[in-house]
Structure 1
Amino acid sequence: MKNLRLLMLVLFAVTALSTADVMAQGKSKKKQKNEKKGGGPPPWAPAHGYRAKTRYVYFQDYPVYYDNDRGVYISMSGKNWSISAKLPDILKGVDLFATPKIDLDFSGDKPQELFDEHKSKYPGKK
């Protein structure tokens, strides 16, 4: 009887440790996935469900898009478009909480190809 209790206790401990290890690995993978995406939405984005609701944000006063899926900015640099995880120079010093932004209903990979359309549909103040 004593051996049976000891065996059950050992089995319980092994199961509990295995479950804890699996749970820790799952959290680690989620954390790694978020780090690849830039660690979550940018500080200027609304807090809950932002990525799920829209993929691209168009900065109305600037030739800049933000891609929520990839966590990158798409901005015009001279006559060309560039992609960067860093805030584009044109937005440095801009209050990103207050600047007008449009959540685009666009599912493609290159919203910048429709920039002229976006600029005329959503004219900015500048």
Structure 2
Amino acid sequence: MKHYRVLIVILLALTVITATDTMAQGKSKKKQKSEKRGGGPPPWAPAHGYRAKTRYVYFKDYPVYYDNDRGVYISLSGKNWSVSAKLPDILKGVDLLATPKIDLDFSGDDPQRDYDEHKSKYPKD
């Protein structure tokens, strides 16, 4: 009878350990998925259906685009364009909710190639 109780305690302990490990792995996978896609749209973007409708957002007062599919900013730095998941320095301190943005009808991977056209079509305010 004593061996039976020890066996039950061991089985219960293994069940608890396995369940805890499985729950932790599930949370970790969800977190990784969320991090991979950037945790949703940025705070300045409308959340519901935004990504499905528009891939690129052009900040018309700045040489910056935001790629909703990849969750990255494409910005002009000197003479070169750079891609980064971090907010470009030129937008730091800018009220992104209030700054003018244009949803671009562009399906390629490099909207910056048409920057001169975008700049003249959507002049600064």
Structure-1-length-normalised TM-score: 0.74
1:54 equivalent in alignment to 2:54? yes
Q: Percent identity?
A: 85
* 1:32 corresponds to: 32
The amino acid that maps onto 1:124 is: K
State how many pairs are aligned: 102
2: CA distance, partners of 1:48 / 1:105? 18
The amino acid that maps onto 1:112 is: Q
What is the Cα deviation at residue 34 of structure 1? 3.0
2: CA distance, partners of 1:70 / 1:85? 9
What is the Cα deviation at residue 29 of structure 1? 5.3
The amino acid that maps onto 2:92 is: K
Aligned alpha-carbon RMSD (Å)? 1.7
Relative distance call for 1:98 and 1:90 in structure 2 (3 A) is: same
Q: What are structure 1's unaligned runs of at least 5 residues?
A: 1-20
* 2:76 corresponds to: 76
The amino acid that maps onto 1:68 is: N
* 1:102 corresponds to: 102
Relative distance call for 1:29 and 1:52 in structure 2 (3 A) is: farther
Spell out, residue by residue over 1:2-27, the C-alpha distance to the aligned partner (whole angstroms, 9 max, x if none).
xxxxxxxxxxxxxxxxxxx8xx96x8
1:115-126 to 2 correspondences below 5 Å: 115-125=115-125
> What secondary structure, in the 3-state scheme, does the structure 2 residue paired with 1:65 have?
strand
Structure-2-length-normalised TM-score: 0.75
Spell out, residue by residue over 1:11-50, the C-alpha distance to the aligned partner (whole angstroms, 9 max, x if none).
xxxxxxxxxx8xx96x875653332121110000012111
1:12-23 to 2 correspondences below 5 Å: none
1: CA distance, partners of 2:31 / 2:44? 21
